[in-house]
């Protein structure tokens, strides 16, 4: 990953393809474009040396709080520090927009993401029971928070 760029609604198809590659399910480009057109919502796209997209982060800032909506790297790009670079870029964008705290939800069974977030200074702020559907099972979400200033 050589650089991270900000992207708007015009990048919805790229974000949709990255989301599907990362999670194996679709997020329709028109839904993403509508989300990105909303107040305070932004996207960051990670590009490789050839300029091809390899990951993304979606965030939203409202007043003095921010939320990490989604973050992912292509499966072949994981465990190389790219997730932390994207997360750091998102945090910087949230700070620049005036957010004092950043929140996110993560599945209790997502050990890699939990390690990433804890390593970046997030702590558990709550739980949402049965928040994620994984196959036939329901998995709790941990709500995490990081103070930004």
pLDDT in tens, 88-143: 999 999 999 999 999 999 999 999 999 999 999 999 999 999 998 888 889 999 99
Q: How far apart are CA 145 and CA 60, in angstroms?
A: 14
Element holding 68 (H helix, E strand): strand 65-73
Classified as helix, coil or strand, 39 is: coil
Mark whether 131 is an active-site residue: no
Which pLDDT does position 135 carry in this prediction?
A: 81
How many of the other CB atoms lie within 10 Å of CB of 72? 23
- The band of 149, judged by pLDDT with boundaries at 50, 70 and 90, is confident
pLDDT of residue 10 exceeding 70: yes
Report which secondary-structure segment, H or E, holds 85: helix 82-96
User: Which position among 19, 56, 67, 117 bears the catalytic label?
Assistant: 117
Hey, where are the domains in the chain? 3-106
Q: Please check whether residue 94 is in contact with residue 66, taking contact to mean a CB–CB distance below 8 angstroms.
A: yes
Verify whether residue 105 is a known catalytic residue: yes
pTM: 0.92
The second-level CATH assignment, the architecture, of 3-106 is: 3-Layer(aba) Sandwich (3.40)
Catalytic residue among 19, 67, 105, 124: 105
Percentage of the chain beyond pLDDT 70 is 99
Predicted local confidence at residue 1, as pLDDT: 63
Q: For residue range 46-97, list pLDDT tens digits in order.
A: 999 999 999 999 999 999 999 999 999 988 888 888 899 999 999 999 999 9
């Amino acid at each position: 990953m050589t650089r991270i760029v900000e992207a708007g609604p015009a990048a919805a198809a790229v974000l949709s393809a990255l989301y599907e590659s990362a999670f194996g399910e679709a997020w329709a480009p028109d839904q993403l474009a509508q989300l990105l057109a909303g107040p305070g919502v932004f996207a960051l796209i990670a590009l490789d040396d050839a300029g091809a997209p390899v990951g993304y982060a979606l965030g939203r800032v409202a007043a003095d709080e921010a939320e990490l909506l989604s973050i992912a790297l292509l499966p072949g790009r994981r465990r190389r520090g790219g997730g932390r670079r994207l997360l750091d870029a998102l945090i910087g964008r949230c700070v620049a927009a005036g957010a004092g705290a950043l929140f996110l939800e993560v599945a209790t069974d997502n050990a890699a993401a939990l390690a990433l977030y804890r390593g970046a200074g997030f702590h558990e702020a709550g739980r949402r029971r049965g928040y994620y559907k994984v196959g036939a099972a329901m998995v709790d979400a941990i709500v995490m928070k990081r103070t930004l200033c």
